[in-house]
Structure formats: C-alpha cells, structure tokens
Amino acid sequence: MTAQESHDTVSNSSRDQKGDEGAGRPVGAPRRERGTRVRRQRVRAAWLFLTPMLIGLLLVAGWPLLRTFWFSLTDASLSSLEGSQFIGLENYLVFDDGWYGILADSLWWQSVWNTLYFTLVSVSLEAVLGVIVALVLNAHFRGRTLVRAAMLIPWAIPTVVSAKIWAWMLNDQFGIINHMLLGLGLIDAPLSWTADASLSMWAVIIVDVWKATPFVALLVLAALQMLPSDCYEAAKVDGIHPVRVFFRVTLPLITPALLVAIIFRALDALRVFDVIYVLTSNAASTMTMSIYARQQLVEFQDVGYGSAASTLLFMIIALITVVYLYIGRRQLGGGS
C-alpha cells in the first residue's frame, strides 16, 4: 500500500503543489512534504469512503452470486437450504438411464431461444424507432418540449402497470386493439393476443418496444445535439439529398451512442421478467431464462436446479457482453 501511494504521490505532487502556490503558501521543502501528507490522507480517505459501498455490493451482489454458483452444485430446496448435499454437476447434466438435467431439458432450450429471439427483435425495433423519434425531437418545431415530455411517459410507467394496460388493450373479447383492427377490416375475428402461442411473443414485444423506445431515443437525441453543424451546412450547400446525408454523416456519428443504448437495452432484454410474468405468466411459448429459473426456484422450490439455470443465464449474459464489447471496440477502433 505504501509503495502504491508513493508512486501516486510522485505523479500527482505537481497538481497539489500548484494548488498550494495558488493559495500563496510559503515555498520550500515543507510544501512538498505537506503535499505528500495531504495526498496520503486523501488516498486513505478515498478507501474509507469506498468501504460502505463496497461492503454493500459484496453483501447484495458478490456473496449471493457465489452462493448461487454453489447452490447449483447441490440438491438444496427452498425449505432446507442448510441441509443440502453436494451433488456435483447433476443439476446440469447427468446420465441415469437417459440424460437428465437442465442441458437435457427441452423447455430450457426453448426459453434460451425465446430469450434470444425476444432480445433480437425487440432491441432492433427499439433501435430503429428510437432513431426516428430522436430525429423528430431534434428538429426545431413549436411544442418540442411537450412532445419530448410525452415521449418520456412510457418510460416512466412501471413495467407491471404497462403490461396490465396492454393486457387490457389486447384483451381478446373487449380489447381496443381487436376493436380497431376489426373496424379497419384487417382481421375477421378477434385475435387472442396473450393466449395464442404464435401471437403471445409478439404481444410481449409490442409492450417492451412501447416502453423502451424512449430510452433509446433520449440517448440518441443527446448524441444528435452534440453533432457539429458545419458538415450539415456543407452538405446543404452541395445539394446532397437529406436521406444520403443521414446515412453518410449522421448515422456514423451517432453510432457510438446508439451502440451504448443497444447494449443497455440488450442486457435488460436478456434478463426480462416482469412484462412476461404479468402478460403471459409461465406459458411455454414466452418462457424466458429468467422466468424458467424463477419458476424452478420459487414455485417448484428446487433451489439447486433453479440456481443452475441462474448460473447458466449469468454465463450467457457475461459471454454476450464480452463478445459485444470486443466486437464494438474493434469496429470503433478500426473506423477511427
């Protein structure tokens, strides 16, 4: 620790000295010593100030995660967490006159597929819609503040509430969506959005896109407002078509912000739980990894098996994050 501090002191002493001079302190050897002492005191204080936060994160994130990993190797149940036995990888895969375990469970693989499908479709739609909304909000027109405030409303509504509202609007008998579609002659008979296995995933996607698009739009809008105006003036003078300007100038410039928004949204979508639990409960056609894991853990009380599912979910998300960051960094690095 002392070696680290003295190393930092050397690299930062000039900054501290400058502060001392600025305040008109007496010059000479004591100043340097004083700077070192202050510096050391500050580093000590920094660790002291970080401790409560680190203890908090250890208590609610680090330790529980390790326990989940451990439970996944035991036969723990919700009623007897303490009396659990180590059973190795049996929760994941075991051969006992046929393969058993999560990796042999077709419902698990379906929930993996559902999660990936949901993430890919909803995040893509949110990115496209988000850019359109951001472009509109970036234009100068009267009432822009009002429109921006309205766009924030879906984001602010609790997920459970938005799922309930859409469940009512998508209701098969009395829902307004079916009423509209029938009125426009687009469908002949009411659709059962949440019960029909081929439609329920789309119902979930509709709700998620509605709720999350404002988030993407805001991040992209912030990037749009920081763009230099001179390239647009140059493009205008040269008479280049606005659509071409968008794809050649605007889109490349907002790509970093868009990528950040997409990774945030993708991480949220990969762990999606609330909207599906409220809209379609434990139906197989919309079961995601989080729903699967919680059902095993809480409803079937099988903590060992559920923890194994949680562990796999964690691994998959970590893997996707690492790959995404790697590709994103390489592409951005190559581009600039």
Partner 1 sequence: MTLRTLKGIVLKIGFWVLVAVLMVYAIFPFYYAVVTSLKPSSELFQVSYWVDSVDFSNYAAVLSQPTFLAAIRNSVIVAVSVVLIALLLGLTAAWALGRVRFRGRTTVMMIVLGVSMFPQVAVLSGLFEVIRTLDLYNSPGGLILSYTIFTLPFTVWILTTFMRQLPDELEEAAIVDGASPWVTLTKVFMPLLWPAMATTGLLAFIAAWNEFLFALTFTLTDSQRTVPVAIALISGGSQYELPWGPIMAASVIVTVPLVVLVVIFQRRIVSGLTAGAVKG
Interface residues for partner 1 in 25-54 (CB under 8 A)? 25, 38, 41-43, 45-47, 49-50, 52-54
User: Binding of partner 1 at residue 157 (CB under 8 A)?
Assistant: yes
Give the nearest distance from C-beta 261 to partner 1 in angstroms: 7
What crossing angle do the helices spanning 197-225 and 159-169 adopt, rounded to 10°? 130
Q: Distance between CA atoms of 110 and 30, rounded to whole angstroms?
A: 70
Question: In degrees rounded to 5, what are phi and psi of residue 94?
Answer: -150, 145
Contact 207, 269 (CB under 8 A): no
Looking at 92-100, 105-113, 196-204, 218-226, which segment touches partner 1 (CB under 8 A)? 218-226
User: Applying CB under 8 A, does 63 fall inside the site for partner 1?
Assistant: yes
- Under the binding rule (CB under 8 A), the answer on residue 149 touching partner 1 is yes
Smallest separation, CB 154 to partner 1 (Å): 6
The neighbouring-strand residues paired with 74 are 86
Closer CB to partner 1, 60 or 120, in the complex: 60
Return the closest-CA partner of residue 70 out of 53, 51, 94, 91: 91
Give the integer Cα–Cα distance in Å for 293 and 287.
10
Residues 6+ apart with CB under 8 A from 223: 253, 254, 256, 257, 258
Can you tell me the distance from the alpha carbon of 142 to that of 321, in angstroms, rounded to the nearest whole number?
Answer: 41
| One residue of 81, 107, 128, 234 binding partner 1 per CB under 8 A | 81
Closest to partner 1 by CB, 150 or 251: 150
Q: How far is the CB of 68 from partner 1 (least distance, A)?
A: 4
Size of the site for partner 1 (CB under 8 A): 107
CA–CA distance, 126 with 209 (Å, rounded to integer): 6
Residue type, 45: A
Query: Can you list the alpha helix ranges (DSSP code H) found in 226-300?
Result: 230-237, 242-245, 251-270, 274-280, 289-294
Footprint (CB under 8 A) of partner 1, residues 183-212: 210
Shortest separation between residue 93's beta carbon and partner 1, angstroms: 20
Q: Which of 10, 147, 187, 197 binds partner 1 (CB under 8 A)?
A: 147
**Is residue 284 part of the contact set for partner 1 (CB under 8 A)?**
no
253 belongs to the binding site for partner 1 (CB under 8 A) = no
Coil, helix or strand at residue 314: helix
Tell me the closest approach of the beta carbon of residue 72 to partner 1, in angstroms: 9
Q: Using CB under 8 A, which of 204, 205, 278, 287 touches partner 1?
A: 278
